[in-house]
């Protein structure tokens, strides 16, 4: 689902969002020595899942994001890391950090580019690490083909992606339906006031800005990714958090999953992909047709009724509060509670109460 109502789509809003509002709002903390030490452990664990723990020192790796994973991999001693990001701010900050004496001998290159628009070098990397990236592409198929081309034959691609059919994205899609990009600065400030006494550089604000305002959250099922990658000439090699594999499971499925694929071809075959992972192939989480239970369908009905009323500008305070309250239900893990079981009852009560309250105000 995209969120660029009322703003020029050509503008690099994804880069701007991450550079300034999310991750970028706490860049120094995310790349502090203490934080990087934690990321080193996460990367070791990811290398174990990918089956490369015994050989990473001989691997050429590609990474995308803030640079924190690239830095951790270089500190672990991989052969080379090439880092890319659409955010100029991330890349400039990362370049500056790498000039520090303690990092200056590391084998890392960093470059600002849009993976959906600029071609990567072909057949270059043994391991392409995409952690939380592909669902944010303006066109997931296009960006993923570019990354797949960059993998060497028998090399691996790590794809950690937001999963369709999970409770977090069901509720988050409700939030995004109540917002437009014009709200961005007000949420930046009000989330900081709410959760960090006005300090903009805090993790709640970072997460809220990401979930609410990133221009693209394209949601596909694990099976759609598996079919797509196998058509490109890759085999499924390893996975994590992908059980249950069913396309919808609000009770048990994790909001994100990892699939690791091995490239079995010299050149990627990008023909015959049809609409797979294209923007019109994404799954609308608020489409009643994808659910079989009455409760979820009823919740969607209440949400649609509320949405019609609350989008009126004079209810902005209520709209903002509703979005922040919905986020606690979508992602309780950010607020010190377990992500699952889903808070379905709370969701229903929140939507019903807000709707009833607004109707009372209107009828006064």
Ligand X SMILES: C[S@@+](CC[C@H](N)C(=O)[O-])C[C@H]1O[C@@H](n2cnc3c(N)ncnc32)[C@H](O)[C@@H]1O
Least gap, CB of 46 to ligand X (angstroms): 11
The C-alpha atoms of residue 73 and residue 108 are separated, in whole angstroms, by 9
Return the ∠ at Cα 61 (arms to 64 and 134), rounded to 5°: 35
> Minimum distance from CB of 234 to ligand X (Å)?
20
What SS3 class is residue 165? coil
Minimum distance of ligand X from residue 148's CB (angstroms): 14
Element (H, E) at 344: helix 344-363
CA–CA gap between residue 61 and residue 49 (Å, rounded): 16
SS3 label, residue 57: helix
Q: Which is nearer to ligand X, 136 or 344 (CB)?
A: 136
Cβ proximity to ligand X: between 35 and 348 the closer is: 35
Comparing every residue's Cβ against ligand X, the nearest one is 65
CB of 81 to ligand X, least distance (A): 13
Contact positions vs ligand X (CB under 6 A): 14-15, 18, 23, 64-66, 68-69, 84-87, 90, 114-116, 131-133, 136-137, 143, 210
Q: Which is nearer to ligand X, 142 or 307 (CB)?
A: 142
Select 69 or 285, whichever has its Cβ closest to ligand X. 69
DSSP 241: S
Q: Name which of 172 and 296 has its Cβ closer to ligand X.
A: 172
CA dihedral (210, 192, 334, 282) in degrees, to 10, reads -20
Closer to ligand X by Cβ: residue 39 or 59: 39
Cα–Cα distance measured from residue 137 to residue 139, given in angstroms and rounded to the nearest whole number: 5
CB of 298 to ligand X, least distance (A): 32
Which of 14, 202 has the CB closer to ligand X?
Answer: 14
Q: How far is the CB of 292 from ligand X (least distance, A)?
A: 32
Enclosing H/E stretch for 97: helix 88-98
The Cα 195–Cα 205 span in angstroms is 8
User: Three-state DSSP class for 14?
Assistant: helix
The least CB distance from residue 180 to ligand X, in Å, is 20
| Contact indicator for 187, 208 with CB cutoff of 8 Å | yes
What percent of the chain is helix, strand and coil (3-state, nearest 5)?
50, 15, 35
Q: Which is nearer to ligand X, 136 or 343 (CB)?
A: 136
CB of 113 to ligand X, least distance (A): 6
Residue of 255, 219, 206 lying closest to 18 (CA atoms): 206
């Amino acid at each position: 689902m995209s969120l660029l109502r009322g703003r020029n789509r050509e503008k690099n809003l994804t880069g701007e969002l991450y550079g300034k509002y999310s991750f970028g709002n706490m860049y120094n903390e995310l790349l502090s020595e203490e934080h990087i030490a934690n990321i080193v452990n996460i990367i070791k664990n990811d290398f174990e899942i990918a089956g490369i723990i015994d050989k990473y020192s001989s691997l050429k790796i590609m990474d995308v994001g803030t640079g924190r994973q690239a830095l951790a991999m270089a500190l672990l001693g991989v052969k080379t890391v090439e880092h890319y990001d659409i955010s100029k701010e991330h890349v400039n900050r990362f370049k500056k950090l790498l000039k520090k004496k303690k990092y200056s001998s590391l084998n890392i290159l960093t470059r600002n580019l849009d993976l959906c628009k600029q071609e990567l070098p072909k057949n270059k990397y043994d391991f392409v690490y995409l952690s939380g990236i592909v669902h944010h592409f303006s066109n997931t198929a296009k960006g993923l083909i570019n990354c797949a081309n960059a993998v060497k034959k028998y090399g691996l691609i790590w794809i950690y992606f937001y999963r369709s059919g999970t409770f977090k994205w069901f509720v988050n899609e409700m939030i995004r339906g109540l917002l437009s990009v014009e709200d961005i600065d007000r949420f930046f400030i009000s989330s900081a006031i709410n959760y960090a006494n006005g300090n903009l550089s805090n993790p709640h604000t970072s997460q809220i800005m990401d979930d609410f305002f990133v221009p693209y959250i394209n949601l596909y099922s694990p099976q759609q990714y598996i079919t797509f990658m196998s058509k490109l000439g890759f085999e499924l090699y390893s996975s994590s958090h992908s059980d249950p594999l069913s396309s919808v499971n609000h009770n048990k499925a994790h909001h994100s999953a990892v699939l690791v694929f091995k490239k079995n071809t010299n050149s990627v075959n990008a023909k015959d992909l049809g609409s797979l992972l294209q923007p019109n192939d994404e799954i609308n989480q608020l489409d009643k047709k994808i659910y079989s239970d009455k409760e979820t369908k009823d919740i969607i009905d209440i949400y649609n009724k509320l949405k019609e009323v609350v989008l009126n500008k004079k209810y902005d305070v209520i709209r903002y509060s509703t979005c922040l309250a919905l986020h606690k239900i979508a992602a309780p893990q950010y607020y010190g509670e377990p992500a699952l079981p889903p808070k379905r009852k709370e969701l229903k009560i929140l939507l019903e109460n807000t709707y009833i309250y607004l109707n009372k105000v209107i009828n006064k």
